[in-house]
Structures are given as structure tokens and as C-alpha cells.
Amino acid sequence: MTSTWKDIVGRYVEIDGTPTFYDEIGEGGRPIICVHTAGANALEYRYLLPLLADAGFHAVAPDLPGRARSYAWRGEVTTTIHRHAEFIHLFKQQLFGDTKVIVTGTSIGGDITLDLAVSFPESFSAAIAFEGAARTPTFPDPGEYMQPSWNPGWQDTMERISGAALNAKCPPHKQEELRWMHRNAQVSAVGDLQGWATHDIRDQLSNARLPVLVAAGAEDFWLPEELVDETVAGLPDGEKLIIDGIGHYPMFEDPERIRSIIVDFVERKGL
């Protein structure tokens, strides 16, 4: 029987004292953790998770701390990619123990995926980073945007730029759905984008002792191809993929194609 989003189960787990929400489907399969974009939540994966389950994966997608249904870690807004990665590693340990898992993520989730690969290579069997790189200096540090006298429209910026970053043929109903996912993300989005703007792990890429795929949409203006090339060049076992007709949200824009990319990479690597 084909799985649908109705088969996804939402759960809570306590991570370092933090009530953390995650979506789950496909128990008993190969474990894979899916990490969402800036200022958003696990809802971005509602199309992809059932497809991964049908492909034999035990797929989980957490809401990052302070986003949507998860509480802030230690009561603080996360402002670095590495701190997000540390939390996802704790989440992985809580759910899967010493079992190696696959990790994938998009945008800041892609950056987090790469940070996990270099910081905790012993915990993961493969890393698949979409729209992320070793460094992503393509958005100014947004801390100043929190000053209302400077930029009073910041509160709805995330929901507006999310739609602009979709591929040109993405249907209107998905544009509106993505806007809703980013609504009410004012504080967390600032932290996430601070992390995106200051992220730089180029000097750690050689630590990634696992297969890593770095993939980017051809229509994603947030991630220039040269940053993908730079990242792959520094990885011991890195691959590059540019996906035609895709913008900044591949798992949301074309989940069937992204499922195929993940399955192909995992199977080619014998995982």
C-alpha cells in the first residue's frame, strides 16, 4: 500500500531537557533524518517522508529548537549552524543510539548536514546536502533587521522571500503553502539566517569520512554553483549534483525526484 502524509505520526521527545517535536514514518527501515530550512519546520517534508518510507526508509523530520512545535534549546535562540548540528546529533543519539544514520537537509538544513558530516562523521553513514555548502555568505547578517525603525517590514520577509526562491513553474498553491510554513518565524528566522551568513567549515571538510552529496537547484539564487564546487573539492568522498528546474526547496518542489536522488546515492554507496 502506498503511504501518504496521513500516515506520518507526530511525536515528542526530550532532548537535553528540551521538548522536541518530530514527524516519523516507516519504522523498521533504514533511518534517515531530514532537516528543514530557515524559519520553517518539518511540514516542509510532508510530501517527501511518505515517499522515503515506501522506498524502505525510517524517516524522521524534527522541528529545530524554537521552531514551530519544538521549544528553544536552553531557552535561547540558535544563531549558528554548528549549534543546530550539535542539537541534531543529540536528537540522533536519543532516537537511534550508536546506529549510523543517513542525514539530509535543505538550505540551513544543508549547512547543518555538512556540519554534522565534519563534526560527527562516526554517527552518520551518508550525508545529502541540498542547497547548502561549506560556506554560504549569500545573505547579509540579519541582526540589524530586528531594529524596527530600520526595517519595519522584517516580520513577513521570510514568507515573502521563500516564494521568490521557488522554481519558476512551482504552482500557486505550493507558493501559498510554503508562505504559511514560514509565518510567525520572526525571531527564529533571524537566528537561522545569522547562522547561514556566518557559516564556514572549509577548514574542516577533510574530517568528513563518509559519502557526501552536495546538490543544488539550477534556479536557486541563494546558492551559486561555485560554492558547491568549493565544497565538493574539499570533501574526501564528495559528489556534486545540479538539478534542473529546481529552486531553493527541492524536497517541497519535486519530492519524487528528490526521493530518487536519495535512493540512487544511498544504493550506489552500498548503504
Say whether 212 sits in a helix, a strand or coil. strand
Mean pLDDT of each 10-residue bin along the chain, 271 residues long? 95 97 97 96 97 98 94 91 98 98 98 98 98 93 61 65 88 87 75 92 98 98 97 98 98 98 97 90
Reference 114, options 190, 243, 212; nearest CA is: 212
CA-to-CA separations, 215 to 57, 134, 146, 189, in angstroms, rounded: 20, 12, 32, 23
Q: Please report the pLDDT score of residue 143 as a whole number.
A: 65
Q: Identify any residues that bridge with 19 across adjacent strands, giving them in sequence order.
A: 14
Give the pLDDT of residue 144: 62
| Residue 19: its H or E element | strand 18-25
**Nearest alpha carbon to residue 161 among 143, 146, 139, 141:** 139
Task: Provide the mean pLDDT of the chain.
Answer: 92
Task: List, for residues 27-71, the tens digit of each pLDDT value.
Answer: 999 999 999 999 899 999 999 999 999 999 999 999 999 989 999
Q: Which residues contact 144 (CB under 8 A, 6 or more apart)?
A: 150, 151
Rounded Cα gap, residues 94 and 271, in angstroms: 22
Q: Domain locations in the chain?
A: 5-268
Q: Would you call 80 helix, strand, or coil by DSSP?
A: coil
Residue 111's alpha-carbon distances to 49, 186, 192, 221, in angstroms, are: 20, 20, 11, 16
d(CA 8, CA 24): 6
- Residue-level pLDDT at 75: 86
Quote the CA–CA distance of 49 and 159 in Å, as a whole number.
Answer: 23
| Amino acid 151: pLDDT | 55
Predicted local distance difference test score (pLDDT) of residue 158:
74
- pLDDT of 184 reads 67
Q: What is the pLDDT of residues 210-228, one digit of tens each?
A: 999 999 999 999 999 999 9
Which among 259, 222, 214 is positioned nearest to 47, based on CA atoms?
A: 259
Q: What is the pLDDT of residue 78?
A: 92
For 65-148, strand residue ranges (E) read 101-106, 124-130
pLDDT the model gives residue 171: 92
* CATH number among 3.30.420.10, 3.20.20.10, 3.40.50.1820, 3.30.70.600, domain 5-268: 3.40.50.1820
